[in-house]
Amino acid sequence: MAQGVQRFTDLRAWQACVTYKRAIYRVCEKEPLVNDWKRRGQLEESVAGPPGHLAEGFGRFSPLDFARFVAIARASLLESQNHLIDLVDRRYISDEQRTALNALAESALQEVTGLLEYLQSPEAARNAQRARERGIARRTARRTGTSNPEPRTPQPRTPEPRTTNHAPNPEPESRTENRTRTRTRKREPGTGNGR
């Protein structure tokens, strides 16, 4: 994603998909397609899906998770192109109309494919990591009340000491003393396995 993308509506891919969707909706409002509910519904679904998938993917925290939704959006755009060919075959639209609509579809496909390639790149992973660090720094600053937080870098966690309910032994025994004491300990009556 380019710097400055704050909302899914800022994505060029989303904008191109919406432009294509609106052009298809205008075609669906005209005869004879307006009365063919089945084909109209299939076409409208295939063009309504991509902007929705891009918006949903944008809300994910991982570039690869976002990429899954972008791939689905791309597949829906291709499906809509197939529906346009079917409309020409049924003589609902002319080949010239299909060509004009297909140009919008190709523009949307180009933007969606570019976004998909970016999301699958190492650069996207690095940018996502930096964004997470900035978010952590902002949340920390809000909690602590500092004004200009520095991004937190991941540090290895050290195990915290375990607490016990009993008082620690002031002088630790050597392993040899501990084993000897265990072997020579007498068994109290009634503590066997009962056989």
End-to-end CA distance of the chain: 72
Count the alpha carbons within 13 Å of 46 in the hemisphere toward its beta carbon. Answer: 22
Cα–Cα distance, 37 to 34 (Å, whole number): 7
Which residues, given as ranges, of the chain have pLDDT below 50? 1-2, 155-172, 176, 180, 182, 184, 194-195
pLDDT per position as a tens digit, 43-55: 999 999 999 999 9
What was the pLDDT predicted at 86?
Answer: 94
Backbone φ/ψ region at 167: left (φ over 0), alpha (ψ -120 to 50), beta: beta
